[in-house]
Amino acid sequence: MTGKGRSDPSRRRHNPEKAEGVLVSAVGSRIPRKIDKIFEDGWKEHVPLSMLTDSYCESREAAADPDKMSWTMKHGRVALASSSLSTVKSELDLNFAEWTQAWRRLLILIKRYFRKSYLNRWRAHFNHIFSNPNRDRYWHLFLQYDSSMRERSTQESIDASVFQQHIFDHFVLEHQLQPSAPQPLSMPQGGHPLPTPSTRRAEPPLLYNSTDRPGPRNSYTNPRHKGDKKFFRCFRCGRAEPHGPSTCRHTSQSNGREIIITKPVAGGPWMLDGGPLCYKFNTASGCPKPDCDFKPHRCSLCKSSAHGAQQCTA
């Protein structure tokens, strides 16, 4: 008999059963559902690390119901009102502690939704940066490299376990062209201005088991991509350089014209003429959705509806 004040086993409990002595993960329990959903759907959208830091994951914004989010969540994109996200910092402004917080959550998400070999490749990428002796001095370069690698992995096949020297060198060159940049370190063997993991013989010590090391690069297959894809153009500036639109620092297009797309909200959609732009339409893979909510599709470089940025000749 169920009396007043007694618990009814047929009723759903609001709080879970308490287990004495059980410790919970402070990191895993605070991953926002809207971010988790992006990885559940295959990590096809770029997730800024600024949305995986302690401060963001503990915010009211992070607790928003994903089922009540705007239409951008249909494609896995985090796009709330500007007023809600205006305080979210750029992932390129994270300090080392914030970056580490975010990466702990990111590895949890990759482990949850992808195979072990793919997790190990991203662990290796993390270790390349974490254990680099010049990390603190050139922290902003490693942030740019990290962001570019994660963004590009959502659009093309790329082996995260291999330190992509040409991508890093692109950011090194931009850094050296800045008048206020500190003088680079002495040139090591190989001619690179910064010692990088690719020039060091020792393996990074963290997060590896000897049996979990990723295989050779030619055995790599991205779980979401089939075959090799050609080097893609940045759909913000139109240049075929090793950077993505989120890390693009150019002030004009490759043809000298004005850049016409903006991203006013961290984690939100790219905008063209005041409306959301289908960024997938402007990538090498194109938009696969016949019922895309961002139609009419338009080129991010010239506004044409006849082609995307990869085919644009303007």
The region of weakest confidence among 78-87, 100-109, 231-240 is 78-87
pTM of the model: 0.54
Check whether 219 has a pLDDT greater than 80: no
Check whether 297 has a pLDDT greater than 80: yes
> In terms of pLDDT, which residue wins out, 16 or 36?
36
Q: CA 243 to CA 174: how far, in whole Å? A: 11
Using 50, 70 and 90 to split pLDDT, how confident is the model at 227? very low
Check whether 16 has a pLDDT greater than 90: no
Q: Whose CA is closest to 263, among 290, 242, 281, 244?
A: 244
Bridge partners, residue 275, by sequence: 272
Task: Give residue 208's pLDDT.
Answer: 28
Q: CA 135 to CA 207: how far, in whole Å? A: 18
Task: Give residue 228's pLDDT.
Answer: 41
Task: Give residue 185's pLDDT.
Answer: 41
Task: Give residue 279's pLDDT.
Answer: 84
Give the N- to C-terminal CA distance of the chain in Å, as an integer: 78
With H, G, I as helix, E, B as strand and everything else as coil, classify residue 261.
strand
Percent of the chain at pLDDT exceeding 70? 63
> In terms of pLDDT, which residue wins out, 168 or 17?
168
> In terms of pLDDT, which residue wins out, 61 or 202?
61
With H, G, I as helix, E, B as strand and everything else as coil, classify residue 10.
coil
Task: Give the tokens for residue 242.
Answer: 């090793």
Check whether 90 has a pLDDT greater than 80: yes
Percent of the chain at pLDDT exceeding 90? 24
* Residues in the chain, total: 314
Q: What pLDDT, in 10s, does the model give residues 132-157? A: 988 998 899 999 999 999 988 988 88
> In terms of pLDDT, which residue wins out, 281 or 7?
281
Mean pLDDT on 306-311: 88
Q: CA 153 to CA 151: how far, in whole Å? A: 5
CB 110 within 8 A of CB 104: no
Q: CA 127 to CA 120: how far, in whole Å? A: 10
